[in-house]
Amino acid sequence: MRRLLITGGRIFTPITVLRTGSVLVEDGRIARVSDMPAAPTAGADMILNAEGLLVAPGFVDLQINGGFGHDFTQAPESIPAVAARLPQFGVTAFLPTIISAPLETYKRALEVIRAPANGAQPLGLHFEGPFLNPERAGAHDRQYLLLPDARIILEWEPLERVRMVTLAPELPGALELIGRLQRAGVTVALGHTQAAYAEAKAAFDAGARFITHLFNAMRPLHHREPGLAGAALEDPRVRVSLIVDGVHLHPAAVRMAWNLKPPKLIALVTDAMAAAGDTHPTERYGAVVVDQQTGAARLPDGTLAGSILTMDQALCNLVQMTECAPSEALQCVSTTPAAVVGWGGRKGWLKRGYDADIVLLTPELRVVGTIIAGELVYWAGEPDRLHQ
């Protein structure tokens, strides 16, 4: 039995933050969380001194299109390469996101996701499309948008490899497809949509429970027609995702969502594209032009085309924009997103029996170390904190 002992850090559970404590990991699972620093005599194979650090559940990114020069839709085979590098930003699990594309692309991605990856764990695929409204296509290529069709879903089976599908609920056949996906255990998200308030509520009643990048690529919130945004903000059944990069949303819009939704109903996502995390970024990635100063990735016509955001920066941005407690913000990058895709019983908490996916952070919320399934896969701290 392989054991890892993390001792002396402030432990986020996330019900509370302990002043100091310890976490004992055995064979990839959390065996004990204590409010007392454990003595080095615990028989651990490795002891990690986390004094002065925050010990939190690993981050879960539900919408990432690529990174480090790779694009999942163009090359699904690049998913393992990105997975290997995400831990430096605290990400321990993620949904590789395939945007609207030829149907063959989805099949290729389904084959890639079968293989285990080193680094962050792909929990399944997020298909953002092809059942989207052309009026709100954003950076999606309209030629690949389709009406909801159950025959296409059959080609994705077994559906356990698909964890989330984003669709526009106002399209013909969408409500029936929502029910079918929901019954199969797939999280149905609403996005890239012109849905009115009543159409959004009907989709919630049919089983949709998540909103893809709230406010972006949807009907604007209006006092006489609140649309999807208004319906989602008032409905306690529905979780929402936010791209908190300072480009997709004004800080006031972030604060609005924060004031109307508790942390358990907000998940931060990066919507990251190929330029995210790239150590040698270029100004252009295909048709997308990246402005490194503003952090915006846009098509030539100015349409936003994903982001270059990382999850650790999203966490810091949320705290800065809302002045919330770090413990609240941490729920939005771990506990909540894990629950969105049905992994709330294994991930997103530091709790006995849960997967030992853990991130260690400075008081400024910068990532120092990342542990996945009990293994230290990334470390940027002092070497003398580690003892074997």
Tens of pLDDT along 35-94? 877 665 557 889 999 999 999 999 999 999 999 999 999 999 999 999 999 999 999 999
> What is the pLDDT confidence band of residue 281, given thresholds at 50, 70 and 90?
low
What's the burial of 74, exposed, middle or buried (CB within 10 Å: 0-12/13-18/19+)? middle
- Which of 142-156, 188-202, 279-293, 363-377 shows the lowest mean pLDDT across its residues? 279-293
Q: Mean pLDDT across the stretch 265-278? A: 94
Helix, strand, or coil (residue 79): helix
Q: Tell me how far apart the alpha carbons of residues 348 and 60 are, in angstroms, rounded to a whole number.
A: 8
Which pLDDT belongs to residue 33? Answer: 92
Domain boundaries, the chain: 3-56+348-387, 59-340
Q: Mean pLDDT across the stretch 13-20? A: 76
Interhelix angle 251-260/227-234, nearest 10 degrees: 40
Q: Tell me how far apart the alpha carbons of residues 273 and 288 are, in angstroms, rounded to a whole number.
A: 9
Q: How many CA atoms lie within 13 A of 75 on its CB side?
A: 15
Beta partners for 375? 372
Joined tokens for residue 386: 């580690």
Are 86 and 120 in contact by the 8 Å Cβ rule? The answer is yes
Interhelix angle 227-234/197-206, nearest 10 degrees: 50
Which pLDDT belongs to residue 288? Answer: 87
Joined tokens for residue 167: 């669709």
Joined tokens for residue 341: 């895709």
Please check whether the domain covering 59-340 is classified as CATH 3.20.20.140: yes
Q: Which CATH architecture has domain 3-56+348-387?
A: Roll (2.30)
Find tokens 């194979």 and name the residue: 45
User: What Cα–Cα distance (Å) separates residue 98 from each residue in 63, 211, 302?
Assistant: 9, 16, 22
Residues with active-site annotation: 271
Contacting residues for 296 by C-beta, under 8 A, at least 6 apart: 247, 290, 304, 307
> pTM of the predicted model, to two decimals?
0.96
> How many CB atoms within 10 Å of residue 104?
8
